[in-house]
Structures are given as structure tokens and as C-alpha cells.
Amino acid sequence: MTRRPHRALAAVCAAAVLALVSAAPAHADAIRDQQWALDALHTDRAWQTTRGGGVTVAVLDTGVDDAHPDLAGQVLPGKDLIGFGAGRGDSSWALHGTAMAGIIAGRGNGPGRTDGILGVAPEARVLPVRVILESKDPARAKARKSRGAALAKGIRWAADNGADVINLSLGDDSESAHPDPGEDSAIQYALSKGIPVVASAGNGGEKGDRISYPAAYPGVIAVAAVDEYGTHASFSTRRWYATVSAPGVDIVVANPDGHYYIEWGTSAAAAFVSGAVALVRAAHPGLDPAQIKKLLADTARDAPAEGRDDARGYGIVDPAEAIDAGGRLRPEDMSAKAAPAGHRGRYFGDGPTPARTDEGTANWAAPLAGGLGAALLAAAVVLWRGRAPAPGRR
């Protein structure tokens, strides 16, 4: 039998390389005006209970700019499991990770913090773990060959260093993608320590809906993308593992170069759900990952007619409803447990629908192999420049 190559880590933005298109500069306050996703997630209601204080969200990504004005004071000392590649000030450093951190825990800037990006959980802390390089980083090829275990190591490091939620806005949905035992085991380790793991469902909706990892690992809260009208985004992968959906189209994000951009992809959707999970954890710290996952599914709004489908999961995540429902749980409702390592059965209740037979089975032992990379932001348009752009970013 041919030995499968170990999955190598690639930059998160491999699917679309963050195509930048200049647009007329907007005033800073227009950034907040365009954050339609906050209204869609009913964050104003959730914030009446909590803004995520006391919760730490690990962002396993390309790095996070801790000096960005929207994140200053929110970013904890993290871990770089790549050890080389672009550094601060380079045009290929921490673009995607900073964008995801802003969605999760941005707290704005300026007088009264009314400018810039406001995250779903603006009082949560961010724990950055660098496990991938940006697609345009010249060292990407080297990282693919030599840092294939970075994601698994990063999950374990985050679980051992204070993470309350782990955000994985990344994935491999290539033709050779396969379940990696080390990554699966690391996720089960995090779940066993009471840490929910959130991942993007994949951007393969127009390219065959191939299975994406880590979204497909047991116990993960896998997130599909919808637009401002709650409609499934055509690029968002349709698969049995989708738990809920969240905004992933025309999303305003922060960037280390001082610009704000409009981007789209299931990575953004996953970041929104990680922020929602942070709010639920802050309100109900005693809930375990399985209970939180079930709460999100049970309280999702605009559910499909049949209760769940592969395009949107159980519906659009609603952190306010999940917080309220969590407060009504009875002792007998608190017995759900996270799936143990190696579990290959159903998730919760009736479980997700089976994978479509015309695209192959969802067998966990399928002989797939490939390179981690493409479940993320698909494109970007510059909105507003707050600082001088970095070289090469115009």
C-alpha cells in the first residue's frame, strides 16, 4: 500500500490569495456602519449579559498583530510554531490571523472606541498561535515541507496554555485531503479539557463540495457561510458536518497595513461563531464543548425546513438565544459529553445527514492526502486607510 504523505501546512489564503482592489476611501465611522454581521447575530442582546470578559480565544492562524489599534491590549503572548517566514512590517505577515482576531474580539479605537472593528466578544482575549504562513510568503514552500505537524501541536499548546475556545479558520479541502490522526487526537485532547473547537466548513461549494479538515473531525463546531439575507453562500461547502452557519459575505476586517477590507469566506463565519462561543462560555463557564455545540444547534435561527441541511447546518448562530437557553438548563440537561477520541458515530440528537453518495463516502479512513490550506477568505476590497500602507500593499 502506498504511504500517504503527511499533510503539509499551507497559507490560509491559498484559495483566493486575498485579491486587493482599491476603492474610494471611507471615513472611519463607515467601518462600523458596514458591520452588518453584528446585527445579524443579535450581539446587542447578548452584550446585555456579557461581552466575553474572562474568556480567551486561541486563534490558530498566520499570527496576530497585537499592535493594531482595534486589538491593542487584547492579545496575549502566543506561540510561533513555524519559526520563520515574514515578520512584523512585511506585507505577508499576520494578515489573515489579524482579520480573524478582529472579528472575534476587536474593540474598536478612537474616542469612545467608535471607530474601527468591533468583535463579537470585545472583552475576550486573543491567544495567537502561528501554525501557517500567508499564501504570498516566500517561505511558504519551506513551511509546507517542514511544519506539517504545526496544527496538531498548536491545538495542544493552546489547550495547555489557557485557551477557553479554539478558532480554526483554516482547512484542507483539496482532492488529496485526508484525516490526520495527529490532528484528530489533538482536537479530542482539547475537547477532553473542556475547550470547544470551531472550524470553517470550507470554500469548496463551487468546486465539488469536497470534505474539509479540520471541520470534519468529530466534536468540531463546523461553520458554513451565509450572506446578509441569510442565504447560503455559493462558495460555502455543503457537507454532513456543518453545525451552524454565520455571516461570511461582505465582512469588514482589520489588517496590519492600517487598511480595512471587505472580504468573504467560511473562515470569517468560523470566527463569528468562535466569538459567539466565547460569549456563551463567559455566561455559562460550566458547560462542556458538547453542551455548547448542542446549544448553538438548538437555538440557531432560520433553521432549514427539515431542521438541518448540509448547506447551513441547523441554521444561523444566535449567541443571545444560546445564552438564554443555557441559563434554563436543568441538571439532567448537563449530562452531554464530548465525543471521545476515535468516535465515528453521530453527533447530537438525530445527527447530521449522510454525505451525498454521488461525491463519495465520508469514511474517516478514506485514502486521502493533501496540503492544508483553503477554507478561507476569498477576496478583499480596501475600505479605509488608518495608517500608511506597508510596502507592496496598495
Return the active site residues: 61, 96, 267
CB-based contacts of 92, cutoff 8 Å, min separation 6: 85, 86, 133, 134, 136, 137, 138
d(CA 260, CA 372): 26
CB-based burial, 159-177: b 16+ in 10 Å, e otherwise: beeebbbbbbbbbbbbeeb
How many residues are recorded in the chain?
394
Distance between the two ends of the chain, CA-based, in angstroms?
50
- Report strand pairing: 259-265 vs 251-254: antiparallel
How many CB atoms are closer than 10 A to CB 72?
12
**Peptide bond before 214: cis, by omega within 30 degrees of 0?**
yes
d(CA 363, CA 343): 12
Contact call for residues 239 and 171 (beta carbons, < 8 A): no
**Peptide bond before 111: cis, by omega within 30 degrees of 0?**
no
Q: Is 188 helix (H, G, I), strand (E, B) or coil?
A: helix
Q: Is 254 helix (H, G, I), strand (E, B) or coil?
A: strand
d(CA 325, CA 379): 36
